[in-house]
Structure 1
Amino acid sequence: MNIEQEFYLFLKERKGLHRLFDAWITQYERLGYAGGSVVVENVKQEEMEAIGTFLGCDLRKQKQIHIYWRQMQKAMDNSRFSTCNIEEVFTLWKGKPLRIKKEERRKKEEFENKMIEKVLEETKDTYFPMWWELQKKQYPEFFHKVKKLLLEDKETLLLCIQAIEQLPYLTHNKKPLAVFAAEISKDPHFFDKGMSYQMLYKGICYRMKKEEPNTLEEKNKLFYDAGLIRDDISNYCMLCHINAEIENQVHAGWNGFFMNYETWNVSLWNLSQIDRIKKDIKKVYILENPSVYRMLCEYGKKYNVNDIGFLCTSGQLNLCAYILLDMLVDSKIQLYYSGDFDPEGMQIADKLKQRYKENIVLWHYDEHDYRKCISNKTISERRLMMLRNIKDLKLMQVSQRIEQEKRSGYQEKLIDVYKEDLL
């Protein structure tokens, strides 16, 4: 069953929408395309509720409902039927071919083809013509949306094309997405959602020759690589005794915290303003727990341990943490990670090991350490199932022990062991 048949059955089951769609079919046959407006008179309660629910508005106490096609289109765009061919739906609804005047259809197609040719000519020196053909051949559903945007909102389409041609990474810059959107369209929220966002997102993938990512974190990384920072202030992590360079000079702000061995919150925006991590240290210890992180930072400062730095993830790593870790690896600084012995902590450790391989050491993450820090807190069977996804061999052995014990182990009990390593 295709999407048009699904939409037809959806309508058929809702009697309150029947007269509305009869009116739209009449309008479509008259115009030769979906547009204009229709009126449903002497509205019954059932119709009032069904139409209001479909459009997402309150139509109570209205004896006559006047609806524009743009309202219908918006309702469909916000539903699972956004990609359907409305003429096919109307044909299914009527049960026979629509009676559209051939001359009007020919004129409509001629008009659309001229518009498409004009836009392709206007954008011939950009990525768009080749991308248009790619969508047409490989992604027909999305191509239908792009074509609709071209025909109904050419200005928005051209702004999206302009954005892809002016991505900050092309000039080795970075900008907050809201600032970039305002520069392109005068609207800071222009790329927040809808087709503008889709055009930007898919355009970046095409321009940078990257597969479309699956997770939100991967999407944020894609935008970051394109020079666009989506969440620059609240996306941060804690670090201590890590220095940075900009234009081959030490960064004054980072250097101040570094020289004073002070812990601070670095944001994604801070990272975008430096060129590299300065190799003033040999290794960085990554801690999951903020309290353990703070105690080790104080210990490092007290005993003037100059060749190490610290990073705190506070649980699951965000984009800021990954960008910082990538920069540390680029500077040939060895990573050490230690977290809790529970399903969530083990998953973080495994994810980091799969990503950074020999560049990261799983620090005090064996069965011996687990026995030292085991608690009385039991782990549910549902959470224990998460351990079955661990890939690293060393962590798999620990996971099996945790499954047997069904109890968590916490970093706080290993602080003395950590301190011995620091010295």
Structure 2
Amino acid sequence: MLTKFLIGITLTIFSIGTYFIWFDKRNIFNHISIGFCFVAYVIPAFVINYTEYFKPDVISLYVWISIIGCLFYMVGMFLGYKWKALIFVDTILQFRFLNLLSNNSKAIEKIGRLSSLIYIVGVVGVIVSFMLMGFVPLFASDPYMARFFKGQYQQPYERVAFLYRTSRQLVELLMPLKVLELFIKFNFKSIFLILMGIVAIAVSLNRGPILYGTLIGVSIFVALKKRNAPFWIFILVIFSSYIIGSSMFYIIGLLFPDSIFGLGVGQYNIFEAIASGAPDIKDQINFLSAFLYSGSHYTYGLTIFGGLIPFNFPWNPAVYTLTILNDTNDISEIVSGGLRLPVSIWGYVSFGWIGVAILPFFSGFLTGYIVKKVKKIINGLSENTNGYILFFFLYFMYTNIGAVFMSFFTLSIYSLPAFAIYYLYVKKVKLALN
């Protein structure tokens, strides 16, 4: 039981540990992850007996990596929260500029107009990409392979990979603002743009960004409300969304016992269904086991920068995890986008036990520092149009630009569009401030 608790609590802290330094309804960066932690870490940790699948020494190693990494992460986070200044981080994230926006309506309006233009460009870019590829994943002969652009779909995708990835990111990054604008002022233009974005993402068979974008928009709206009732309703919706999503097939089986989904209902309960719908812990232990079996060859930090090189570069974190897990150098037919690994495991496979301490410490340190700066600005926002849009802007910065520092151990080339958008905002808005 202690092992189960330690697995669940350490992984949860890696995800929502900033509650220790900012326990407030305005900390939306954690609220969205509550439901995920519950279905991916807490329930599986207590429901699944991992000794049935893995050797005790592998599980023991996994637990110790998680404990030590979590402790160093917490120490780093508290230290970063107390740190006075990091000039390089402050310059890249433009905290001084963000502080100037709170009382400038002209600049806030500029952000809104520019966001709409970028969003429309993204939607058009996705449509053009599908036309150039010659297929749409939803309507492809093999939708599952088409979703991940594997097999016969890889070559057509590679021709437009930059356009497609960039365009889809523009839509996904800015959809929360479109949803938020509906709460600020209901209008058919916003509804039309949201629907266009939903369709563009849905036909690619990626439903996650649609739900996530909607939840972020709603979370910003309720976070600035003075009343607490909307916030608690929102938290209930978060839990419900993740629980239903993870146990969807089980629920369908209960409702339609004569269907194919009803065949396995009697074989497991609702908690086992939820656990099977989010196999993160099992994937992580499986990866660690495969890493040990392959000879424990450390990456020495190559996976930190490998994500900056496109396509199937061997040291790309997603490619590397699939290569180790499947014991193959050819992942072209593997239908997966890679594994979600905590910083502690990345530290271990990079530098061994010293990595288990160093990577989580610096990740926690940078997280604590950035949270402190963002918290100060957000706590000064008011419940009005300026407050809502600036809140989104801070969310955008935190989850895209700040994440490059907080998750420095898996840098990605797909962060470049967000950087381009952010500095376009900064450049255009600064002109409005002058």
TM-score tier (shorter): under 0.3
Instruction: Please tell me whether Structure 1 or Structure 2 has the larger radius of gyration of its CA atoms.
Output: 1
Q: Report the structure, 1 or 2, having the larger strand content.
A: 1
Which protein has greater RCO, CA pairs closer than 8 Å, 6+ apart? 2
The two structures have a TM-score, normalised by structure 1, of 0.19
The two structures have a TM-score, normalised by structure 2, of 0.19
